[in-house]
Amino acid sequence: MALALLMQSAGGSEAAEYVYMAAALLFVLGIKRLSGVRTARSGNWLASLAMLAAVMVTMIVLWDVVGGFILISGLVVGAVIGLLLATRVPLTEMPELVALFNGLGGASSMLVALATMAFYISTMGDPGSAMVDGFAIGTVSAGGGHYAAAIVASILIGAVTLTGSLVAYGKLSGKVNVSRKGPLGSQPMNVVLLIAALLLCWWGGFAADSYGMILTAQVLLTLVALTLGIGLVLPIGGADMPVVISLLNSYSGLAACATGFVLENNLLIVAGSIVGAAGLILTMIMCKAMNRSLPNVIFAKFGEASEKEDTGYTNVKSTSAEEVAQLLDVAQSMIIVPGYGLAVAQAQHKVRELADYMSSKGCDVKYAIHPVAGRMPGHMNVLLAEADVPYEELHELDSINGEFSNTDLVIVVGANDVCNPCANDDPTSPIAGMPVLNVWEAQTVVVIKRSLSHGYAAIKNPLFEADNALMFFGDAKQALQDLVTEVQDL
Residues with catalytic function:
417
CB neighbours of residue 257 within 10 Å: 24
- Give the three-state DSSP class for 293: coil
Rounded (5°) CA angle 107-108-109: 95
Note the helical H segments in 125-240: 144-173, 187-202, 211-233
Nearest to 370 by CA among 432, 435, 273: 435
332 and 361 Cβ atoms separated by less than 8 Å:
no
Q: Quote the CA–CA distance of 421 and 471 in Å, as a whole number.
A: 16
Cross-strand bridge partners of residue 409: 334, 444
Please list the alpha-helical segments (H only) found in 290-378: 294-299, 321-330, 340-344, 348-360
Hey, CA dihedral for 231, 232, 233, 238, is it positive or negative? positive
Strand segments (E) across 229-340: 333-338
Angle at 374 between CA 369 and CA 375, to 5 degrees: 135
Tally DSSP H helices, then E strands, for the chain.
18, 6
Strand order in the sheet with 409-413: 394-396, 364-369, 333-338, 409-413, 444-449, 469-473
Rounded to whole angstroms, the Cα distance separating 64 from 343 reads 48
CA end-to-end distance (rounded Å), the chain: 70
DSSP class of 405? G
The whole-angstrom separation of Cα 263 and Cα 269 is: 9
Amino acid letter for position 62: L
Backbone angles phi, psi at 471, to 5 degrees: -100, 120
User: Which of 303, 219, 250, 252 is closest to 104 using CA atoms?
Assistant: 252
Cβ(211)–Cβ(125) below 8 Å: yes
